[in-house]
Amino acid sequence: MSPASAPRAGALRPAVIAGTGSFAPERVMTNQDLQAIVDTTDEWIVSRTGMKERRIAGPGTATSDLASEAARRALADAGLAAGDVEMIVVATITPDYPFPNTACVVQDKIGATKAFCMGLEAACSGFVYAVETARNFIAAGAVTNALVIGAEKMSSILDWQDRATCVLFGDGAGAVVLKAAAPGERGILTASLGSDGSLTDLLLVPAGGSRKPATGGTVAAREHFLRMSGKEVFKHAVTNMVRAAQTAIARAGLQVADIDWIIPHQANLRIISAIAERLGMPAEKCIVNVQTYGNTSGASIGLALDEAVRDGRIRKGQKVLFVAFGGGFTWGAMVLEWAKGAEG
Ligand code: UT7
């Protein structure tokens, strides 16, 4: 390695997840509730998606409110004071405002006055992208800790007249605190991220950006709501998540059998089952909560991670795989050695 490309002293430090937190609004919307809104059935939703209920935030609640509560819980778990947070990344496709970014709003709500704040938009892959972003800031020596949050108020961009999409999504938030690893700790091992911008049209909100600013016409045409070509997205999701998982596992020098837990993006139980099967991973190793939260987009992995850590499934020393896919298209996988709590 030439001196110019050699890492400077103290750089390329590993990062560990030092705390987790999550939050979901109280109001539960069941499949039966949806039957009263659109032409659907509990049987269709359960058999096609595995979803039974989801949480829906009230009109006075914004994404930053969900994010801030998850953040407070993650900070408490990590034993880090809000005032000591150096960096906040919020992954979301349902920001409070087009700008400023939602991380700035969260900063103010939780009192993280020292932090710099950025938003990250990678749809359902947002949490994996955001953790990988923060990990690289830590690796480079730019910060020693970061608060990473995936948070969504998906109900704010759903077309409640479109049964093909409105039954699929829910609101929630998941957060982690990353810290520079102590000697001997391993934490995040590898990641594999990818995108295909040629397939934007398959999953998007058509209006409200600079291409099609809001007008009376865009509102009347319901173009501010999420649109998805479900069948197409399904195929791409399975293929790319499997490939990303295999790449991240190989980069870590591991085999699929070495992975203790896979936390997939919770888009559809059939997608999760297909990924596990193609990877050759037993279903018992999948952390699944799609039945209770639906698809919470960028929040889903953080939410599922927090549940699995707090109920004692994920234990110190175990290998955990995150894998996600979303609009863009974007996808990503990450392999971690869990560094906290009781030994596995
Ligand atoms: O998080 C980002 C990534 N997102 C995803 O990964 C989602 C990927 N896609 C999927 O999960 C699935 O494609 C869906 C769950 C969205 C749909 O399942 P599908 O098996 O692909 O169903 P489909 O879209 O092909 O629809 C089958 C039928 C259609 O009727 P016809 O044309 O066969 O008569 C739909 O009109 O089901 C109908 N349908 C419904 N029926 C009752 C669609 N939505 C509903 C509904 N209730 N809610």
Ligand 1: atom nearest CA of 295 is 1
Query: Tokens 């982690």 label which residue?
Result: 176
Q: What is the mean pLDDT of the chain?
A: 96
Return the pLDDT at 5.
Answer: 38
d(C-alpha 162, C-alpha 191), whole Å: 35
Return the pLDDT at 268.
Answer: 98
How is 139-168 classified by DSSP, letter by letter? HTTS-SEEEEEEEEEGGGG--TT-HHHHTT
Q: pLDDT confidence of 8, banded at 50, 70, 90?
A: very low
Which residue, judged by its Cα, is nearest atom 20 of ligand 1?
A: 48
Return the pLDDT at 344.
Answer: 75
Q: What is the pTM of this model?
A: 0.96
How is 301-324 classified by DSSP, letter by letter? HHHHHHHHHHTT-S-BT-EEEEEE
**pLDDT per position as a tens digit, 122-137:** 999 999 999 999 999 9
Tokens of 1: 């390695």
Q: Is 44 in the pocket of ligand 1 (CB under 6 A)?
A: yes
Give the phi and the psi of residue 294 in degrees, each rounded to 5: 65, -155
Tokens of 153: 């108020």
Q: pLDDT confidence of 342, banded at 50, 70, 90?
A: confident
CATH class of 187-337: alpha beta
**pLDDT per position as a tens digit, 266-297:** 999 999 999 999 999 999 999 999 999 999 99
d(C-alpha 317, C-alpha 319), whole Å: 7
Average pLDDT estimate for 255-261: 98
User: Residues 101, 145, 289, 295: which is the catalytic one?
Assistant: 295
User: Residues 104, 117, 124, 286: which is the catalytic one?
Assistant: 124
What residue segments make up the domains of the chain, in order of their start? 15-180, 187-337
**pLDDT per position as a tens digit, 100-119:** 999 999 999 999 999 999 99
d(C-alpha 100, C-alpha 74), whole Å: 23
Assess whether 265 carries a catalytic annotation: yes
d(C-alpha 140, C-alpha 13), whole Å: 7
**pLDDT per position as a tens digit, 184-240:** 899 999 999 999 999 999 999 999 999 999 999 999 999 999 999 999 999 999 999
Which residue, judged by its Cα, is nearest atom 3 of ligand 1?
A: 326
Return the pLDDT at 165.
Answer: 98
- Per CATH, the number for 15-180 is 3.40.47.10
**pLDDT per position as a tens digit, 201-211:** 999 999 999 99
Return the pLDDT at 62.
Answer: 98
Indicate if the pLDDT at residue 16 is higher than 70: yes
Q: Which segments within the chain are labelled E, that is strand? A: 15-23, 28-30, 53-55, 87-91, 116-120, 145-153, 171-180, 187-195, 203-204, 227-228, 261-264, 319-326, 330-337
d(C-alpha 163, C-alpha 106), whole Å: 32
Give the phi and the psi of residue 213 in degrees, each rounded to 5: -60, 160
Assess whether 117 carries a catalytic annotation: no
**pLDDT per position as a tens digit, 298-341:** 999 999 999 999 999 999 999 999 999 999 999 999 999 999 98
> 86 Cβ partners below 8 Å, 6+ apart?
114, 115, 116, 143, 144, 145, 146
Please determine whether the domains at 15-180 and 187-337 fall in the same fold group of CATH: yes
Ligand 1: residue of 29, 48, 161 to mutate (most ligand atoms within 8 A of CB) is: 48
Cα-to-centroid distance, 230 and ligand 1 (Å): 6
Q: Is 275 in the pocket of ligand 1 (CB under 6 A)?
A: no
Cα-to-centroid distance, 231 and ligand 1 (Å): 7
Q: Is 234 in the pocket of ligand 1 (CB under 6 A)?
A: yes
Indicate if the pLDDT at residue 93 is higher than 60: yes
